[in-house]
Amino acid sequence: MKCSEQVKNAGLKSLRQFSEITGVPVTTLQDWHRNKEKLFKMLLDSASLEVRIDAWKESINRDK
């Protein structure tokens, strides 16, 4: 699966968003996707969780 496809499947909008969340350049993320799969997956899981938590917090604040 392509790097960008994996990012979108994790619930992020784009590789650029993933880069902004993590502070890691897009090219480095792409390299890690190819060469350090476990590191890439752990970072992606963390970023995905952060995005979901932020969305959950926003929905709670909207309901108030």
Q: For the chain, what are the domain ranges?
A: 3-63
Residue 44 belongs to what H/E stretch? helix 37-63
> Residue 25 in 3-state DSSP?
coil
Contacts of 30 (CB under 8 A, 6+ apart): 3, 15
pTM of the model: 0.88
Residue with tokens 């917090």: 57
pLDDT at 7: 97
pLDDT digits (tens, 9 = 90+) for 3-27: 999 999 999 999 999 999 999 999 9
pLDDT at 64: 66
Residues across the chain: 64
pLDDT at 62: 79
Task: Say what percent of the chain tops pLDDT 70.
Answer: 98
